[in-house]
Amino acid sequence: MFVPFFIVRNALRHKLRTTLTMIGIVVAIVAFGLLRTIVDAWYAGAEATSSARLITRNAISLVFPLPLSYAQKLRQVQGVSSVTWANWFGGIYITEGNFFPQLAIETSTYLDMYPEYRIAADQRKAFLIDRQGAIAGRKIAEKFGWKLGDQIPIRGTIFPGTWTFTLRAIYDGADSKVDETQFFFHWGFLNESVKARFPRRGDQIGLYIVEIRDPTQAAEISQRIDATFKNSMAETLTETEKAFQLSFVAMTEAILAAIQAVSYVIVLIIMAVMANTMAMTARERYSEYATMKAIGFSNGFVAFLIFAESMGIAAAGGLVGIALTYPIADAFGAAMGTLFPVFFISRQTITLQLAAALLVGFVAALIPAWRVARVRIVDGLRSIA
């Protein structure tokens, strides 16, 4: 009981210094956690993918479509169990700032291929029988205050005109990694309207989603699919769903690298501040440590006191920082809206925050503890004068 009490009393000798040091650690740990969460949010789409789904798109670019006739050929490829498709709509709801993903989907197969989208049976039935029906994720519905039966007008950019949909279902994600900001409607409705207005743009697919029986055969099946359409008017590029998502992340890889670098720089800065604090603390107590040595305490014990105090302050600041990360991350995620559809603090981030705080405390105490352990009793006692 005596040693922990002694360590706490030492830490509280200079309350202002200790408080300011802890505040610095709290700020650093919160910033570190928030930046790590931003990086995780960037990769969230890739982490939520299924290894049993492949994406087939035009080999030239995603903006070039594929013909509807490819669907039947894809179903005949060895290893393929199911095929569905979707078109990116890219419309505007009220203003350009209200961005959220809008996809025209092949309704009879798409939802079956994505069981992570949880939809009530009655809502799903209502969507399927309404050609102008739509499904919205829980987050986007709550953001705009949408309710079942609401009319939702969206101004098309890729497909000109104002398109009005009736909200028939709201889906929830199976877990926190599922994007709940998407908006789905019938590809058949889109295709019929486009064919009536722009006949040449009809029966075109933005991308195919291919479900395979054996995820371990993804590479071989991808090669078979692309070989099927080799030398055709629209050659294909097939990749895993995760690789497809990561291709978008790669466009901002430099930004992500900068964010990660900044998160570690913050930890290094607070480590330097903490080291300076512990160095000042040790210098002020040389005489005390010398006296303790004179009455029989070992070098290891006095060094332990420095380590314990440093790591205690760092751990306390780290725990407070972790606790504050949650409300700050929630507020940040809400402010970003649909920019980060999936924004939550992972266990790995919490572990890294705590490890960073303890590392700061340990490294900051290394040199002061080493000096205290090596100080001679006579030199320490001389500092009393």
pLDDT tens string 215-240: 999 999 999 999 999 988 899 999 99
User: Phi, psi at residue 93, to the nearest 5°?
Assistant: -100, 105
**Is 15 found in the same domain as 86?**
no
Last residue of a domain, one of 202, 234, 266: 234
User: Is the pLDDT score of 377 beyond 80?
Assistant: no
- Whether 53 maps to a domain, the answer reads no
**Is 64 found in the same domain as 41?**
no
Contact 274, 360 (CB under 8 A): yes
Compute the distance between CA of residue 278 and CA of residue 376 in angstroms, rounded to an integer: 19
H-type helices in 337-346, by residue range? none
Q: Is the pTM of this model over 0.95?
A: no
**Is 100 found in the same domain as 18?**
no
Q: Which residue carries 């930046």 as its tokens?
A: 35
Position 1 scores a pLDDT of 47
- Mean residue pLDDT of the chain comes to 88
Mean pLDDT of 17-45: 88
Mean pLDDT of 25-54: 88
Looking from the CA of 327 toward its CB, the CA atoms found within 13 Å total 4
Position 134 scores a pLDDT of 97
Instruction: Write out the residue range of the structural domain in which residue 221 sits.
Output: 60-234
Position 381 scores a pLDDT of 62
User: Which own/partner contact pairs does 254-263 have at CB distance under 8 Å and 24+ positions apart?
Assistant: 256/39, 256/42, 259/35, 259/38, 259/39, 260/35, 260/36, 260/39, 262/35, 263/31, 263/32, 263/35, 263/36, 263/39
Position 60 scores a pLDDT of 92
* Of the listed ranges 12-16, 109-113, 166-170, 378-382, the one predicted with least confidence: 378-382
Position 109 scores a pLDDT of 93
User: Which own/partner contact pairs does 123-128 have at CB distance under 8 Å and 24+ positions apart?
Assistant: 123/148, 123/168, 123/169, 123/170, 124/169, 126/168, 126/169, 127/168, 127/169
User: Is the pLDDT score of 119 beyond 50?
Assistant: yes
**Is 270 found in the same domain as 185?**
no
User: Is the pLDDT score of 254 beyond 50?
Assistant: yes
